[in-house]
A and B are shown apart, each in its own frame.
Chain A
């Protein structure tokens, strides 16, 4: 009975996988109880329940400012990355210029070059242009990191799109802008939604570039970083929980409208 012989193996495999999933979720699970702790300092398990750390977060203008700034940065980064990246993906996929394949590869360079290198490179340039501390400067820098993902996702969508449909639309009487708007883009929606989500979240979470470029006007990750270095108090757990919830909601929405396109970024 070969089925039987495999049983033990597959149960062991299942247990192993469950342990790894537990390891992955553990840090996320830990911050929830800490954020609701009634203790005045870090203590686990928490002695009692309280909303005090959320209250403190909401009452501290520093945290709120940093949050709003990060949302601004992420929003601008998303708009820029999509506005520039989607047309770029069309160009890279549709053009028959010689060397277009090489150019396509080169646009992935910002993912390959370690962020620390880009950070100090931009630090040097932005300092000269007196852009350090300007929120839109951080957003532009984040756009550089987001662009390759947009190009990869939208490019994958374009490649799996049946070009005969554009011909069909043209034959049925549609002009080019209409074809793109009515036929091509609607079908790229999963890729577009995922690309936008990715741009937003990656910018919202980004720390290394922000550390160098945000100066005194901190983004949320920078504020958290400083907070961790100076005083580990559960406010940061509360912030973390809010951040996890934000990502979970965005992730849920994306998988609702993005149908699996997210995983393609990492799998190719």
Chain B
């Protein structure tokens, strides 16, 4: 027995607790070191470049130059649109999943998870094939005689939105689905038993209780769309510029590190602000849920 010996059992206990803590810390240390060296330090170093030389000139450029302001606003607008479309598509699907039988659930989850785990690149490529001027969609519509000239689906905002919604939809469905599962089905039955028609019991009972999932999904989708890179780069065809593409361009083409750092800071702050905001909203809604 290697048990330590001190004055009282209590002192021994505290000694053992300290040893335990030290052991646990030792477990976490390698990963924490890696995170510090390969994540925290490089990111902070990058952000600090934006105020190199003690000047805010790079932020001024980002805030005043019309071109960059447009890109910033465009990014926000696209992120908001993607979030709204995802929510509109995801809520009914999540609701359907939460009521589905075993088979429906298995099929639904398969349809949700297989694309989710498929490379974004593969999916983006497929959309290019589908949405191009001579793409599958336009060909079929023309063959059916519904349109004469091909619809502009690619290399514009429409294409970007379709591609991004496709990638981000599961991030919206799954939190809402999880929240709906936590809503006791007896509650809506009780509401209906108390005389509420089905749609009212949904609006008054089920929907409010699923709000934490809705806000979690919205936060996730909005923040991820804000930083999106591959999909807009490929499906936008250079006509849709989002902030992450601007950052890449500044670094790769112009070697404008301080300005890229300033843009990164803006993007990061916007991301954190949205998380904080949604976090606050969610906490309010969480209080009302078990």
Binding site for B on A (CB under 8 A): 2, 5-6, 9-10, 13-14, 16-17, 20-21, 23-28, 30-31, 34, 42, 44, 80, 84-85, 87-88, 90-92, 94-97, 103, 107, 109-110, 112-118, 120-125, 140-141, 143-144, 147, 201, 204-205, 207-208, 221, 224-225, 228-229, 232, 236-237, 240, 243-244, 247-248, 250-251, 262-263, 266-268
Contact A262 B46 (CB under 8 A): no
B198 sits at the interface (CB 8 A): yes
Contact B34 A24 (CB under 8 A): no
| Docked complex Cα distance between A225 and B178 (Å) | 34
List the A side residues contacting B247 at CB < 8 Å.
116-117, 120
Q: Which of B93, B117, B230, B267 has the most CB of A within 10 A?
A: B117
Smallest beta-carbon distance B29→chain A, Å: 8
Closest 10 CB pairs of A and B: A114-B227, A91-B28, A27-B126, A267-B178, A87-B27, A84-B31, A88-B31, A21-B111, A121-B42, A121-B46
CB nearest to A221 among chain B residues: B121
Contact A27 B127 (CB under 8 A): yes
B223 sits at the interface (CB 8 A): yes
The listed residue (B34, B99, B121, B126) touching A30 by CB distance below 8 A is B126
CB nearest to B199 among chain A residues: A9
Smallest beta-carbon distance A3→chain B, Å: 10
Q: Binding site of B, secondary structure by majority: helix, strand, loop or mixed?
A: helix
List the A side residues contacting B120 at CB < 8 Å.
205, 207
Contact A207 B230 (CB under 8 A): yes
Given A95-B24, A267-B175, the answer on whether A14 and B35 have CB atoms closer than 8 Å is no
| Docked complex Cα distance between A143 and B30 (Å) | 13
Contact A112 B45 (CB under 8 A): no
Contact A144 B121 (CB under 8 A): no
A-B contact pairs, 9 of them (CB 8 A): A2-B197, A13-B96, A23-B166, A31-B129, A92-B28, A95-B28, A96-B21, A107-B31, A207-B230
Give B99-156 interface residues, CB cut-off 8 Å to A.
99, 107-109, 111-115, 117-130, 135-136, 139
List the B side residues contacting A20 at CB < 8 Å.
89, 92-93, 169
Contact A116 B227 (CB under 8 A): yes
Q: Which of A27, A141, A221 has the most CB of B within 10 A?
A: A27
Contact A28 B123 (CB under 8 A): yes
Given A90-B27, A228-B234, A243-B119, the answer on whether A30 and B226 have CB atoms closer than 8 Å is no
CB nearest to A263 among chain B residues: B174
| Docked complex Cα distance between A114 and B75 (Å) | 13
The listed residue (A28, A114, A122) touching B38 by CB distance below 8 A is A122
List the B side residues contacting A84 at CB < 8 Å.
30-31, 34
| Docked complex Cα distance between A10 and B101 (Å) | 13
The listed residue (B35, B119, B139, B230) touching A110 by CB distance below 8 A is B35
Contact B35 A125 (CB under 8 A): no
Beyond the given A117-B227, A221-B121, please list 8 additional residue pairs across the A-B interface where CB-CB is below 8 A.
A14-B96, A17-B96, A17-B108, A20-B93, A120-B46, A144-B38, A147-B35, A266-B170
List the B side residues contacting A205 at CB < 8 Å.
118-121
CB nearest to B234 among chain A residues: A228
| Docked complex Cα distance between A250 and B113 (Å) | 12
Which stretch in B53-61, B62-70, B268-276 binds the other chain?
B268-276
Q: Which of B118, B136, B220 has the most CB of A within 10 A?
A: B118
| Docked complex Cα distance between A238 and B198 (Å) | 48
CB nearest to B41 among chain A residues: A125
Contact B192 A2 (CB under 8 A): yes
Contact B177 A267 (CB under 8 A): yes
Contact B126 A28 (CB under 8 A): yes
Contact A114 B113 (CB under 8 A): no
List the A side residues contacting B97 at CB < 8 Å.
17
| Docked complex Cα distance between A137 and B120 (Å) | 22
Smallest beta-carbon distance A146→chain B, Å: 11
CB nearest to A14 among chain B residues: B96
List the B side residues contacting A123 at CB < 8 Å.
251
List the A side residues contacting B35 at CB < 8 Å.
107, 110, 144, 147
The listed residue (B25, B40, B178, B248) touching A91 by CB distance below 8 A is B25
Contact A85 B31 (CB under 8 A): yes
Contact A115 B21 (CB under 8 A): no
List the B side residues contacting A204 at CB < 8 Å.
119
B43 sits at the interface (CB 8 A): yes
List the A side residues contacting B121 at CB < 8 Å.
205, 207, 221, 224-225, 228
B32 sits at the interface (CB 8 A): yes
